[in-house]
Structure 1
Amino acid sequence: MSKTHLKPLSFQRHGHKFWKRFTSFDHTRHVTECSVVAAEVFPVAAAFPLVFRKTESGVELVAVFSLTEEAENSFVSETGIWLAPYLPSAMRCPPFDAEPMPRGGQVKDAQFQLLIDESLGLISDDPRDEAFYRETGALSSNLEAVKRFFQSRMSSAQTTKAICDVLADMNLLAPLTQHEGCSLPKGCWGISPDGLNSLTNRQLATLATCGALQLVHAHQVSLSHIAWLAQAQSRMTQNPSSVDLSRKTNADGFLSALADAQTNETSWGPNSELHAYAQ
């Protein structure tokens, strides 16, 4: 997801402002993919196709919500409910986000800048809403919780990048344009079966040690979602007026209940500090 619309959080700009907790995922309707970190790779793979993208900063692991850039996010209902059985961590804390800062020396912890999306209408002048800062200039308690969440996520993102670098260095990534006859968005990469089969025992041991084998297996299993996602998008595009609204409403309710049940079982679920902001 592009972050060009985000602004750095600062006391000078936001010290006397307040923020609201988001109540709808309507703002993600045109989000067709998001970054994924190693700590959540299995629940993500159980819900979405997982692919790789090559960026200026290296290889990134992403969850795919739509197989065409023009189509809307398939996992957002008409009323803004998130329908998938898992909510990726990158989408958990509107209006907040974070970007890594340059690292130097022996710094081990992820250094980052808190960002805020000022276009979502979640910033206010109403003191009944959440404060950004204390009068002393320190972050409010709720913003401290946001910071802890991003600290954890950024740490896992560093681990994920290191794993992706290993996969790239072993030449295991190959362009992924289609799967079982279904086309994927441009610029997707996947694990090369031939490259994987040609690895030496030492290389396989390296993949197992750094956690790359788990990521590889999650990616391979996740590709099974592509066929039904393509079919669902094709039906909605070809004849959206034929959808039985009563059945769609029931399906939305069922998927929402399934989402609540499954995310309760994960470390990134609704009982975590951050996810509570979506309530």
Structure 2
Amino acid sequence: MDEALLDHKLKEYLQANKQNFEEYLLNQAVNVREKIDDILKVGDIDLINNAHNLIHLIIDGNEQDKLSAFSRQEGIAWATFSLTLSFKLEWIQAIRRTMWAFIQKYNNEVQLIAIDDFFELEKQINNQIDYFLNEFFINYSTYKDALISSQRKEVEALSVPIIPITPTICILPLIGSVDTYRTNIMEGKILNEIGRLHIQTLIMDLSGISKMEIEVIDHLMKIIYGTSMMGCDTVITGLRPDVVRQMIQLGIKFDQETKTYATLQQALNQYLIK
């Protein structure tokens, strides 16, 4: 049988048995079946409709560009809404099994497929499904990595919020836990912002810090030294008693140029209220 004619007749058969196909597919994908409504609500992804679209693209072996675009669309959608990959894999494999079950029914009910046509059909369908899965995972991974990188940059920006209060004075309120990774971000951003904004005084408020390791204290001192090298005075406010005790035990002390105040309000009164 002509390949195009076989593809056409097979699509007609699947369309005529659409409801039975969907029921069979849902029985094959037990875990996904319970999540179909949730996936539709979360990501506006209609798994049933997308399954029919995928099947038509798979049967049309010459629709590679459309199949590639569809896999990209699906990969980005699943990455955007952080949907479970195991559900996607189960769903595609269920589609594969369902297709072959209905091809068998088509062969039994409608027309006998010649052995050569069958092997060509097997190659076409399985290769297309494998191609879709490969492209899906590549697009998912690529978009997810870009999304994580973008989110990390946003978090990094929020974790070191340098706030200008005059053309030459800025505040850096630090909140939460400060570890080595965060101090590395601080160092780069502080030095860059001093150069970009021509900051002359940086008020660093530490009252909101919940935890600070010894290595972090040492790194913080180096950052303060770096700001001094760039012509910026550092003012420290809100030092907690436990941090001060650690500094005393380690023999760490601020240089004479670094001023300290008990609270941020005291520093603002000193530098802003004349």
Q: TM-score interval w.r.t. the shorter chain?
A: under 0.3
Give the TM-score normalised by structure 2.
Answer: 0.22
Higher strand share: 1
Give the TM-score normalised by structure 1.
Answer: 0.21
Higher helix share: 2
Higher relative contact order (CA 8 A, sep 6+): 1
Greater Rg over alpha carbons, structure = 2
